[in-house]
Every structure is written in structure tokens, then in C-alpha cells.
Amino acid sequence: MRKFDVVKPFLYLGVSIALVVLAVIFFVWSVSYLERAMIATGLLSALIGFSLLSGGLYALRVSAYIYSAEKGGEEGGKSSE
């Protein structure tokens, strides 16, 4: 097993957390823009926030798939019957 294989799920986890944090920042900016009556900028910021949130949740799902595949491979991949 290579060293990168051990770190891979945690790398995806770090990327997903960073994307979710950026999404929250863009959502806060969106509310701030909408308070100042910058409607188009606020909606664009919300759209960017939703896109980043979607990407972050997808990366989190990929991280969970990789982690479970590695753990299943270590146990021999046998299902409990």
C-alpha cells in the first residue's frame, strides 16, 4: 500500500470542508449584498455559494466511498451473512 492511498480519503475530506466553508462565506456575502440592495450581486453570490456547497457535498460523498472501499478491502471484502 502506498502512502498516498492512506491519505487520499482525508485529502478529499479536507477539500470538501474547504468548499463548504467557502460556500458559507459566499452565502454571508449574498445576504450582505441583498441588505445593501445589490440584488444582482447578491443573487450571483448565492448562486456561487450553492455551487460550492454542491461541490463540497459531492467531494464529501467521494471521500466516504473511498474510505469505505479501502476499509472493505482491508477486511477481505467479505459480506457478513
DSSP letter (8 states) at residue 80: P
pLDDT at 81: 45
pLDDT per residue as tens digits for the range 40-77: 999 999 999 999 999 999 999 998 898 888 888 666 55
Please provide residue 30's backbone torsions phi and psi, each rounded to the nearest 5 degrees.
Answer: -60, -45
Q: How many CB atoms lie within 10 A of CB 14?
A: 13
What are the boundaries of each domain within the chain? 9-69
pLDDT for position 80: 52
